[in-house]
Amino acid sequence: MTEIFRHKFTFTFAVLGLVMLLFIIWPLANMIFSSDPGTLWDTLVEDEVREAIWLTIYASLFATVFGLLFGVPLAYLLARRNFPGKKIIEGIVDVPIVVPHVAAGIALLFVFGRNSFLGEIFHVMHIDFVGEIAGIIIAMMFVSIPFLIDATKEGFKSVDPRLEKVARTLGASPAQAFFRISLPLAWRSILSGSVMMWARGISEFGAVLVLTYHPRIASILVYERFESYGLNWSRPVAVLLILVCLTVFVVLRYISQGGQRK
Amino acid sequence: MIEIRDLSVDLGDFNLKDVNLHVQSGEYFVILGPTGSGKTVLLETIAGLYPAKHGEIWLDGQEIMKLEPENRGVGFVYQDHVLFPHLKVMDNIIFGLRRQGRSKKEARSEVAWVVDFLGISHLLGRKPETLSGGEKQKVALARALVMEPRVLLLDEPLSALDPAGKEKVQRELRRLHERLNLTVLHVTHDFEEAVSLGDRIAVIGEGRIRQVGNPEEIFHKPGSEFVARFALARNITVADVQDGDDGGAFAIVGETRLEVLTDLRGKCHLSLRPEDILVSAEPFKSSARNSFKGKITRVLDKGSILYLTVSVPPDLICMVTRRSFAEMELKEGGEVHVTFKASAVHVF
């Protein structure tokens, strides 16, 4: 009886899981396979499309690099130290996940817009955010940084703190213990978090739309073509964006998880 | 030499309180205590890895409390080795020297003596995950020793090993200590390990040092019930000790008068080790002052050794070999004679 129950149980869960997988795969596969290769090629050779895809990729890459620079230290402190308000800070880090992205864009506009205090300071340094690539980068960074910080924090948590302690007794400074021991041992989690952050940045639309409509990133180009010319015009761009992202995503995930396979 | 003065450490659930210890240069000093008694934290505090509430720690005449761990000159070996998993054995061993700015080549030649001494030259190219427990422990020791620490702190270094590995590493530790004239501070919960390795032992319990002495003193003259129980003495009781007729003393336990040798009077703890009680089928004529007839109420089989509970009363736990038990034809419920010297009863 238990066997039958277990069998039925597994079967039911497998069917339910399959529905979810189809829900993810079907629309993407349908769009990719129903596209005419010739049209895809014609779209790819369009300057506007190539530039939009390239801009999306490297803006998100810059966002990830800044995320690493400022996010990894925060993730390390959250993983290693106990201090008052730590739970609150952990909550704050995840806020961008729940804030509607258009609202996030508006919030960023208030802080980094030309009439704001910070906007003024950056303007003096010849950095403007509205209608500029810098705006795309901060919008992407805002919405995608939780993925990097959370993954990195878990990575550091999984490194035995006594490894650092031993390193200290062997003459390593806190920085040396970090760079020689904790960072190399947590790098897969950091890379995995970076991939997630980068991928999330690429897919961003709402926050970027508010800050920088031009130059256009790929998702805005898709939206614009859909609005102006309809489905057939927007689909090839969407397909190309999906293909490029999937390729890079699969390769990086393979690298970042390779060492954990036994 | 290490001197710890009035050291207190806040551990959340409980505290290490007013720890005072004096460890001589070249001494093998063992801190013995049950799990959760704060032993590891005490070592981490000495190494500068855990903050102290107050107190002083002196190492070779230098107050080290304000020094960073990397400047204290202490070596630390954890129970489960804690080797750097991403580095090969050689890179683990030269880690400290590399941080001092030595080139790989220089560092490698500098560690040759430790590698030879511990017999681990065949392991140098391997990753820690491929080593046995004993091998890992040797590498962890080598990694600490190459820095020529002023004191070597060992946190339960044998407890993660199987019995064979344990014996090997124990021999290795004794050899290291003798040859290198190291000052060692070793914490453990294992009494036999403490007795076998320690020049002196400090017993720690509930955040306080309960007794400091050489193994003989701890074993035979525990200063409190806590220490006595920890020192495996199985017969412990409280009794009123009174003046005897001939200038000696006695204690009434149950309905039995035990002759004891002590200057203490009044309510005291008594402890009597099972191995100090002679068990015989017939009355045994000897100079021992305590000789009683009793009934075997329980037999606890521990393989080659049997623990007998003999009700005199009181109930005394005695130890006999399986062979003696068979030869004397003893059995549960049967009668037996127990004999022990007045000096075998430790009064505290």
Determine, for residues A166 and B78 on separate chains, whether the beta-carbon distance falls below 8 Å: yes
Domain shared by B106 and B195, yes or no? yes
Assess A170–B contact: CB distance below 8 Å, yes or no.
yes
- What residues form DSSP beta bridges with B294? B336
> What range does the domain containing B290 cover?
274-341
Q: Where are the domains of chain A?
A: 1-34, 43-258
Contacts of B143 in chain A (CB under 8 A): 166, 170
Q: Nearest-CA residue of chain A relative to B143?
A: A170
Q: Nearest-CA residue of chain B relative to A186?
A: B86
Partner-chain residue, chosen from A160, A165, A170, that has the shortest CB–CB distance to B96? A170
Min CA distance, A5 vs chain B (Å)?
A: 41
Residue B121 maps to a domain: yes
Biggest distance spanned by C-alpha atoms of chain A: 75
Residue B248 maps to a domain: yes
To test the contact with chain A by mutation, choose from B11, B40, B59, B99 the residue with the greatest count of A C-beta atoms within 10 A, namely: B99
For A43-57, b/e burial (b = at least 16 CB within 10 A) is beeeeebeebbebbb
Residue B291 maps to a domain: yes
Tell me: pLDDT of B50 over 70. yes
Angle at A230 between CA A224 and CA A233, to 5 degrees: 80
Give the integer Cα–Cα distance in Å for A82 and A90: 12
Q: Percent of chain A beyond pLDDT 70?
A: 96
Contacts of B44 in chain A (CB under 8 A): 165
**CATH says A43-258 is which class?**
mainly alpha
Domain shared by B125 and B262, yes or no? no
Taking residues A203-217, report their average pLDDT.
Answer: 92
Domain shared by B257 and B202, yes or no? no
Q: 102-161 in A: which are within 8 Å (CB) of B?
A: 160
Residue B346 maps to a domain: no
pLDDT value, residue B264: 84
Give the integer Cα–Cα distance in Å for B293 and B190: 35
Domain shared by B222 and B310, yes or no? no
pLDDT in tens, B160-202: 888 777 778 888 898 889 888 899 999 998 877 887 789 999 9
pLDDT value, residue A261: 42
Q: Return the CATH number at B313.
A: 2.40.50.100
Domain shared by B200 and B244, yes or no? no
Taking residues B30-45, report their average pLDDT.
Answer: 90
Lowest-confidence region among A10-24, B42-56, B221-235: B221-235
CB atoms within 10 A of CB A81: 8
Reading the block at residue B162, the tokens are 């199987």
Residue A248: pLDDT band (50, 70, 90) is: confident
Residue B134 maps to a domain: yes
Q: Nearest-CA residue of chain A relative to B95?
A: A170
Overall domain count for chain B: 3
Q: Nearest-CA residue of chain B relative to A161?
A: B82
pLDDT in tens, A81-113: 999 999 999 999 999 999 999 999 999 999 999
Domain shared by B120 and B222, yes or no? yes
Determine, for residues B76 and A181 on separate chains, whether the beta-carbon distance falls below 8 Å: no
pLDDT in tens, B114-158: 999 999 999 999 999 999 988 999 999 999 999 999 999 999 998
Contact between B299 and B332 under an 8 Å Cβ cutoff? The reply is yes
Contacts of B149 in chain A (CB under 8 A): 169
Residue A262: pLDDT band (50, 70, 90) is: very low
Domain shared by B106 and B246, yes or no? no
Give the integer Cα–Cα distance in Å for A139 and A217: 12
Assess B42–A contact: CB distance below 8 Å, yes or no.
no
CB atoms within 10 A of CB A88: 9
Min CA distance, B80 vs chain A (Å)?
A: 10
Residue B317 maps to a domain: yes
Which residues 6+ apart lie within 8 Å of A96 measured at CB?
Answer: A104, A142, A143, A144, A145, A146
Give the integer Cα–Cα distance in Å for B71 and B153: 15
Contact between B78 and B155 under an 8 Å Cβ cutoff? The reply is yes
Please count the CA atoms within 13 angstroms of the CA of B31 that sit on its side-chain side. Answer: 27
What is the value of ipTM here, to two decimals?
0.82
Q: Percent of chain B beyond pLDDT 70?
A: 99
Domain shared by B192 and B220, yes or no? yes
Assess B49–A contact: CB distance below 8 Å, yes or no.
yes
Domain shared by B246 and B120, yes or no? no
Higher pLDDT, B286 or B99: B99
Residue B31 maps to a domain: yes
pLDDT value, residue A2: 61
Please count the CA atoms within 13 angstroms of the CA of B190 that sit on its side-chain side. Answer: 16
Partner-chain residue, chosen from A169, A171, A173, that has the shortest CB–CB distance to B47? A169
Lowest-confidence region among A145-159, A197-211, B34-48, B227-241: B227-241
Mean pLDDT over each residue of chain B, to the nearest integer: 89
Contacts of A166 in chain B (CB under 8 A): 76, 78, 82, 84, 143
pLDDT value, residue B299: 87
Ranges assigned E (strand) in B196-289: 200-205, 208-213, 235-243, 249-253, 256-260, 266-272, 278-280
- What residues form DSSP beta bridges with B167? none
Residue B53 maps to a domain: yes
Give the integer Cα–Cα distance in Å for A156 and A72: 10
Reading the block at residue B105, the tokens are 């080549």
Contacts of A167 in chain B (CB under 8 A): 84, 95
Min CA distance, A247 vs chain B (Å)?
A: 29
Domain shared by B35 and B151, yes or no? yes
Domain shared by B169 and B251, yes or no? no
Q: 91-120 in B: which are within 8 Å (CB) of A?
A: 95-96, 99-100
Contacts of B74 in chain A (CB under 8 A): 169
